[in-house]
Amino acid sequence: MRAGGNGDGRRSGLLTGWQAIATHFGRNQSTVRRWAATADLPVHRGSSDKGVAVYAYVDELDAWLTRRSTEAAGRGASAPEATTPEALSKSASEAAVKITTARRRVLAWTAAAATVGLLAGGTAIRVLQESAALPPPTTAEIPVEAREFFLRGTYLWNRRTPEGIAGAIEALNRAIEIHPEYAEAHAGLAMSYNLARQYSGMSGWEAYPRAEAAARRAVELDPGLAQAQAALAFVEFHWHWRVEAGLTRFRQAIQLDPNAASTHMWYASALLLAGQPQAALPVAERAQILDPDNSAVLNIKAQALFFGDDVEGALDLIAEMIAQDPGFIWSYYTRALIRLSQGDLAGYLADYARLGDMIGVPRYRAAAEAGMAALAEAESGAESDAGPEAGLEAMALALFDAEKEFYDRGEALAWDLARHHALVSDADEALRWLRISLNRREERLIGIRFDPAFRPIHDHPDFSALLEDMGFLPQGR
């Protein structure tokens, strides 16, 4: 695992156990436990399977302490007073009045949802709510122009197109320029950058650091803003590979806003990537109830059905989605995965090419066309007597050769090359390229459990070791 479990988190940024957290503050365990219960100390609950009850990140603890000290100073208190348990407990409720509050968030998001059609006909299903009451609204007003840019940005990133993502980033930055303490705009900007990697072809190396900066600013401005916590969970899971921490923060975001369809969708997607399709399906279905017409939500549900072994149900849902919303990009990605797993190589390559066209990544089509030519030659030649394996091997080799040229130019990932070797059970070469991908911190590596291309090497011991090095729990846990 990347993070050590010895309790010495000052080097790794990770503190494991109450004692390590208490030592970081120079306090005793009972004090920090009380802060966690009454003052929103950012402590995460670990899995009992790992033997770690709680853990925390130094940067989050320090940001929390800085925020509390600043709030106390604003009330005329001294900095030492701000760190006493009494002052911290008191400031937990007072601080909410000074920042963007939950009630204003509801109004802002409802207005945005009315613009983009995210609320599904008033549908609501009651779920367990937080016991704490919402804090009273602040008197601070969002400038009208900033609000208009925020609403436009929210509409655009929910379109999930390259043009929409670019427009959302521009609009939300304008909202922040007008009102720098606009927490919702920072959170929306974070989500726009999170989605830019997937929908616009922006690299994870560029997108995720920007997403993290915006998400952390949003959380700093309003720790109770569900979308901010969800955006930060996205970064933790997909970029930093803090798998358990990311899943935990997604759950916290859902507690803050149980009716946020997008958070349920992202949580379901993370569960799928973590190899938990049975847990992902009910979360995806909840997202569908909240937003039944959202193609992104339906796409995650289709993936959950597929990885839960309901292939027919997944294909039926994808077919319906493509018929109703042919411009939604990632339906074709999901169908490509299903077709690959079913041995429909021509269909897989067709969807691979279409995906590249739709997100503006030409190498997908170039590789797919090379694979199609090799597949056709293998199927028509004398070597076809060897069976479908000959076509698969020819296709995989052609895909590798085509994408290797892009890789050498810095336009493809080691992950892509590993996929093509894994397809034909070449574990040694696949794992060699996966290790390169790990060392390069390629963001797509988080999908290693998810992609059917890697199924032929799942049982290799080095594959399991790679998962653990990334932060996944051992398989079967």
Please write the tens of the pLDDT for every residue from 437-477: 999 989 889 999 889 999 999 999 999 999 988 878 665 44
Rounded to 5 degrees, what angle do the CA atoms 366, 368, 372 make? 120
Q: Band the pLDDT of 69: cuts 50, 70, 90.
A: low
| Cα torsion angle, 244, 247, 251, 257, sign | positive
Q: Where is average pLDDT lowest: 69-73, 170-174, 243-247, 424-428?
A: 69-73
Please write the tens of the pLDDT for every residue from 387-400: 667 889 999 999 99
DSSP result, 40-106: ----EEPPGGGT--EEEEHHHHHHHHHHHHHHHHHTT--HHHHTSHHHHHHHHHHHHHHS--HHHHH
Type of residue found at 421: H
Residue 86 has a pLDDT of 34
Please write the tens of the pLDDT for every residue from 34-59: 788 788 888 876 543 333 456 777 77
The answer on pLDDT for 288 being more than 80 is yes
Contact of 457 with 467, CB cutoff 8 Å: no
Residue 17 has a pLDDT of 73
* Size of the chain, expressed as the number of residues it contains: 477
* DSSP tally for the chain: helices H, then strands E: 24, 3
The answer on pLDDT for 91 being more than 50 is no
